[in-house]
Amino acid sequence: MAFFTRPHSASAAVKIVAPTAVPGDPIKTSTKKDSTQRQCRNILIYGSCKFQDKGCIYSHPPRPTTPPSALTPQPEPPGVSAKLSQAVNAPVFVPKSSPLPPTSPPLSRVQAQPPFTASTLSTSSPASEYDENDSYDHNYYVPGENDGLYDIYSAESVVPQVQALEVNSLNKSYYPQFQPEYDQGLEYYPKQSTFIRQPLDYHLYSLPPPSLPPSHFISPTLRTDLQLRSEIIHTAPAPGLNLPDNLQGYHTLVPLESVTGERRKFGNWYSTVYRATGKDGRAYVLRRVSDFHLMHQAAFQSIEQWSRIRHPNIVAVHEAFTTRSFSDNSLVVAYTYHPNAQTLYDAHIKIRAPTFVQGRLQAAQQYVPERTLWSYIIQIAGAIKAAHDQGLPVRMIDVTKVIVSGRNRLRIGSCGLADVLTYNPASSSRVPGVPLPAEQIQEDLVMFGKLIMAMCCNNVAATNNFGKSLDIVTQHYSADLKNVALFCLSKAGSHKHIGQLFDMIGSRLLTEMDDLQNGMDYLEGELMSELENARLVRLLCKFGFINERPEFARDARWSETGDRYIIKLFRDYVFHQVDEHGRPIVSLSHVLSCLNKLDAGTDERIMLVSRDEQSVLVVSYKDVKACIASAFAELSQR
């Protein structure tokens, strides 16, 4: 076995194969030439040699006057160099119509040129040195393409080619309408243009903005919370509940509260809340009121009005219907489901067992922090205002009917249900656009005041002992908060309305707005860091497109030859390794680490072994990445 290393700047694929030297091979003899006859590699690779006059023993041809980009030196006609030397100081001509000189070939011509191969370079190029040991298994590897492979790794040759391929494929597939203009524009591009529009570098990660102040609305465990929510949506119903399979298109009913033991009441009615999957596959909440006889179809009018309200602090109402599927006359109202939501009562008032905090047993926090309470007040007041502005009373502002989801996000649930249950044809008919009667506004405000008192005192019946409750509020909360509660509970006035409450809240609204915007910034930052989540899938898709492709460009061995051979070996390296006992290695971390390195195009080298173990290639991830890019570009051009 022989091992060849390449010069640093050259690329990549280094074959390790059993040497099969052919006597008299012209290339081999040329490599054995006296070193002073051999052209310096620095000239080939960089266009110049720093050590030319400092003892470099290789030959340095006189510098061409043409730009170093012209890799193949052209014979100069006599007198040309003299003219060029005179033209050095001439001003650059810039046509008015374009900032670029009209000298470059169109993109199509750039593509039509064959890739640089060993034959296009001088015979003493680094690539030719490897050719002397080119004893690859020719079933898998085509020598001509192999040569091309080496050459594309030199920076000068690979960049324009890959760019040209990618630009074209991007242009064709995504911007067909711009194709003519785009091609035309490229007519003016110089041959070795320093800028060609590049496709997006999907592996580039952007850091989110520097750490933001913690938002009142963003949970510190956001990811786990979201995961939990998505899992909760899919929880299966307990067996033996004997629930209907289909309820007006809703199926897979799961009770959200206990259906045995003490029955839960909604006013004077028994109600049960279920989660169900709707016809559209989304989760809904079905609130069922049992033993209800609908006397007037017009009672559903308010449901229709509520279904038109979309507010961030109101659980959206979808529809209502009656059913006998529960073996009784039931009224069912469908709402949007907010996974893992709990009622204000469950979140704050329900007595909880003491918990260990830093090794000490501590009673659960008794009073809700004032900042949280202000946020709740602002959100509920916003929901009430939205309803009142539409001429609808809320009628159900209660700690057991307001749900908290996420961090401090509140929504009033069960809207519209009370209207159906208490429908009175004589008094309930509402004319849209007509302001809400003062008594209905007062009813809502008093319910709101009771809720504030209950939250301040951690007691649902706080207003039953008003004096004592007010003392608690005075003791633990600011005068502003107490005034808001007192305003809601005060006597009705002809001009009393929810808008006045916002005047009392004042600058607290600004704090709320700041927190909301901080929360938005945080979420945008998170979204930004998730943008490139699909990058490994994209890579796998490219593998899928390339590997084992039965035929391409009338070549049945396309996927097995040239660059694609390396891709195939790399695929084997990632997925088909076996241990010393021949057992498949199914390590996901190996796969992920390989794909991440491939995506980033690192310089780390790996050894790829052919399946018959006769050929070994040492390549860097960067090289494999270039192979995949060019093979994929070839495919997507068609």
Ligand X SMILES: Nc1ncnc2c1ncn2[C@@H]1O[C@H](COP(=O)(O)OP(=O)(O)OP(=O)(O)O)[C@@H](O)[C@H]1O
Q: Which of 400, 459, 478, 490 binds ligand X (CB under 6 A)?
A: 400
What is the nearest approach in angstroms of ligand X to the Cβ of residue 587?
41
Q: What's the CA gap between 571 and 140, in Å, rounded? A: 15
Pick the binder of ligand X from 10, 164, 276, 315 (CB under 6 A): 315
What's the closest the beta carbon of residue 399 comes to ligand X, in angstroms? 8
**DSSP state, 610?**
-
Q: Is 264 in the site for ligand X (CB under 6 A)?
A: yes
Judge contact between 255 and 362, C-beta under 8 A. Answer: no
Give the C-alpha separation, 378 to 622, whole Å: 55
Residue type at 600 in one-letter notation: A
3-state helix, strand, coil in the chain (%, to 5): 45, 10, 45
CB of 229 to ligand X, least distance (A): 10
- Mark 334-354 as b/e (b = at least 16 C-beta within 10 Å): bbbbbbebebbbebbbeeeee
State the pairing for strand pair 250-255/269-277. Answer: antiparallel
Q: Could you say whether residue 345 binds ligand X (CB under 6 A)? A: yes
Decide: 118 and 132 in contact? Cβ < 8 Å. Answer: no
What is the C-alpha to C-alpha distance for residues 196 and 110, in angstroms, rounded to an integer?
12
Our finding on whether 403 is near ligand X (CB under 6 A) is yes
621 binds ligand X (CB under 6 A): no
**Among 403, 417, 410, residue whose Cα is nearest residue 256:** 403
SS3 59: strand
Residues 410-449 that bind ligand X (CB under 6 A): 413
Compute how many other C-beta atoms are within 10 angstroms of the C-beta atom of residue 595.
Answer: 18
343 sits near ligand X (criterion: CB under 6 A): yes
Question: Which of 71, 212, 232, 256 is in the footprint of ligand X by CB under 6 A?
Answer: 256
- CB 272, min distance to ligand X, A: 7
Contact 428, 419 (CB under 8 A): yes
- 314 near ligand X, rule: CB under 6 A: no
Is residue 413 a contact partner of residue 338, using CB atoms and an 8 Å limit?
no
Cβ-contact 226, 247 below 8 angstroms: no
Query: 311, 383 in Cβ contact below 8 A?
Result: yes
Q: Per CB under 6 A, does 348 bind ligand X?
A: no
Which of 287/568 has CB closer to ligand X? Answer: 287
Region from 263-271, 473-481, 491-499, 553-561 binding ligand X, contact rule CB under 6 A: 263-271
CB of 231 to ligand X, least distance (A): 14
Taking contact as CB under 6 A, which single stretch among the options 73-81, 139-147, 398-406, 550-558 is the one that binds ligand X? 398-406
Among 140, 182, 189, 337, binds ligand X (CB under 6 A): 337
Residue among 226 and 528 whose Cβ is closer to ligand X: 226
| Number of Cα atoms under 13 Å in the Cβ half of residue 40 | 19
8-state DSSP, 207: P
Closer to ligand X by CB, 397 or 627: give it. Answer: 397
> Residue 130: which of 14, 30, 35 has the closest Cα?
14
56 counts as binding ligand X under rule CB under 6 A = no
- Residue at 609: amino acid letter: V
Residue numbers 468-487 binding ligand X by CB under 6 A:
none
Q: Which residue stretch of 239-247, 397-405, 420-428, 619-627 sits at the interface with ligand X (rule: CB under 6 A)?
A: 397-405
Mask: binding to ligand X, 284-313, rule CB under 6 A, as x and -? -x----------------------------
Number of chain positions touching ligand X (CB under 6 A): 20
CA atoms lying within 13 Å on the CB side of residue 296: 14
Closest distance to ligand X from the beta carbon of 459 (Å):
16
Q: What Å distances lie between residue 376 and 17, 312, 490, 532, CA to CA?
A: 73, 13, 20, 36
In the complex, what is the shortest distance from the CB of residue 335 to ligand X, in angstroms, rounded to a whole number?
Answer: 5
| 498 makes contact with ligand X (CB under 6 A) | no
Q: Which is nearer to ligand X, 81 or 248 (CB)?
A: 248
In the complex with ligand X, which residue's Cβ is closer, 164 or 341? Answer: 341
User: Which of residues 184, 342, 429, 517 is near ligand X by CB under 6 A?
Assistant: 342
Site for ligand X in 16-35 (CB under 6 A): none
Q: Is 250 in the site for ligand X (CB under 6 A)?
A: no
Residue 266 lies near ligand X (rule: CB under 6 A): yes
Our CB check for ligand X shows the closer of 338 and 597 to be 338
Q: How many CB atoms lie within 10 A of CB 478?
A: 14
Q: Which of 231, 257, 471, 548 binds ligand X (CB under 6 A)?
A: 257
Residue 401 binding ligand X, by CB under 6 A: yes
Q: Shortest Cβ distance from residue 210 to ligand X (Å)?
A: 35
The residues that bridge with 274 in the sheet, in sequence order, are: 255, 286
Q: Where are any strands of DSSP class E within 261-382? A: 265-266, 269-277, 283-289, 317-323, 330-336, 342-343, 355-357, 360-362
Coil, helix or strand for 330? strand
Q: Is residue 397 near ligand X by the rule CB under 6 A?
A: no
Cβ 414 to ligand X, closest distance in Å?
Answer: 6
Q: Which residues bind ligand X (CB under 6 A)?
A: 256-257, 264, 266, 271, 273, 285, 315, 335-338, 341-343, 345, 400-401, 403, 413
